[in-house]
Structure 1
Amino acid sequence: MSRAFLYVMTMACVTLMPLAASAAQLCHSYWPKPSTPINRFVNNEDGTISDSATGLIWKRCSEGLSGSTCENGAPEIFTWQEALQSAVNSSFAGKNDWRLPNIKELGSIVERQCSMPAINEIVFPATPTMSFWSSSPFAENKNFAWNIYFPYGISDGNDKNYKFFVRLVRGGK
């Protein structure tokens, strides 16, 4: 991807951010079945969610948010290095093995039936409708890392200096 294309796409996203933030989630039933059905997840009642399909344990709220429905605080944005460091510094729910998910793990919580955001909002409430970092570097450019643009669940590589949202994870199969 050219830098010019990425710049244009980033500027489009920044320009549309207020519009995206105010839009309501849209879900469609034309997919054969939900990609993240509610029965796949267990609310551990400590701010974490267990995923029976992957064995992962997710923080229910994006970094910066808290509460049973992620109603407290404000979502925080991080550069890629800051995102990696936020995981190292986390001791949420009495655990200190939190990490930034790789791109495959982050993609496992994308709900293909929905957009704005493309996530199961019952399981992961108040998810910001923008990009989230993964821990996966982008092979084609050492200055880029993979992220998922949650308005539509699209994965993409972006400059590690951009500031995106973070959802931490632990465990796995």
Structure 2
Amino acid sequence: MYRAFFYVMTLACVTLMPVVASGAQLCHTYWPKASTPINRFINNEDGTVTDSVTGLIWKRCSEGLSGSVCEHGSPAIFSWQEALQVAANSTFAGKNDWRLPNIKELGSIVERQCSMPAINEIVFPATPTMSFWSSTPFAENKNFAWNIYFPYGISDGNDKSYKFFVRLVRAGK
């Protein structure tokens, strides 16, 4: 039986070590450095993190999940219109200014060293390995909006009726 060895991020997300991969996130050393290192984010101890580079405050869990490592619930999927409404109605952590990130903001949390999912799993635990909506409409087709396919961190335009995952963001303090 062939066993492939891949590099995955350690808990500290700094040192990389080889391990046998079995359906887990894969991280690679051919990128010179992590694009979203753990020290870039401040844990606000309320289910959110602040990105020290962009100033944005992110909900750590995708919608439908909760807990300190997003261990409770099931990730929820929404059409684009539903996702916009979920964001507008959220009062998570006592704040009422949550929104869907635009495509550039959503792209800022893609971890280029990793795939399956392409995100820092220490900062954003239990991230579903699928597409997440952005708030950005697709200019070439009014029925489409931009999303990021998090297995590989690729942006794409899809029909607004499709059901994708949602991660909320708000402006910094």
Distance 2:102 2:144 in 1: 14
The alignment partner of 2:106 has SS state of: helix
Tell me: higher relative CO, structure 1 or 2? Use CA pairs within 8 A at least 6 residues apart.
1
Q: Which residue of 2 aligns with 1:120?
A: 120
The alignment-based identity, stated in percent, is: 88
Report what 1:156 is aligned to.
156
Letter of the 2:59 counterpart = K
Tell me which amino acid in the other structure corresponds to 1:131.
S
Alignment-mate amino acid for residue 138 of structure 1: F
Q: TM-score, normalised by structure 1?
A: 0.86
CA distance in 2, matches of 1:89, 1:37: 31
TM-aligned CA deviation for residue 172 of structure 1:
4.8
Does the 8 A contact of 2:63 with 2:75 survive in 1? yes
Which structure shows the higher strand fraction? 2
Q: Do the aligned partners of 2:49 and 2:123 also contact (CA within 8 Å) in 1? A: yes
| Secondary structure class of the residue paired with 1:93 | helix
Q: Distance in 1 between matches of 2:70 and 2:52?
A: 22
TM-score by length of 2: 0.86
Which amino acid is 2:136 matched to?
S
Structure 1 residues not aligned, in runs of 5+: 1-21
Deviations 1:88-132 (A, max 9, x none): 110000100000000000000000000000000000000000000
2:86 and 2:106 map into 1 onto residues whose CA distance is 16
The alignment covers a number of residue pairs equal to: 152
Alpha-carbon offset, residue 29 of structure 1: 1.0
Name the structure where helix makes up a greater proportion of residues: 1
Which consecutive aligned stretches of 4+ in structure 1 deviate over 4 angstroms post-superposition? none
1:16-66 CA-to-partner distances (Å, cap 9, x unmatched) read: xxxxxx821000011011000110001111000100000000000000000
* SS of 1:58 mapped into structure 2: strand
In 1, Cα distance between the equivalents of 2:55 and 2:116?
A: 26
Partner of 2:11: none
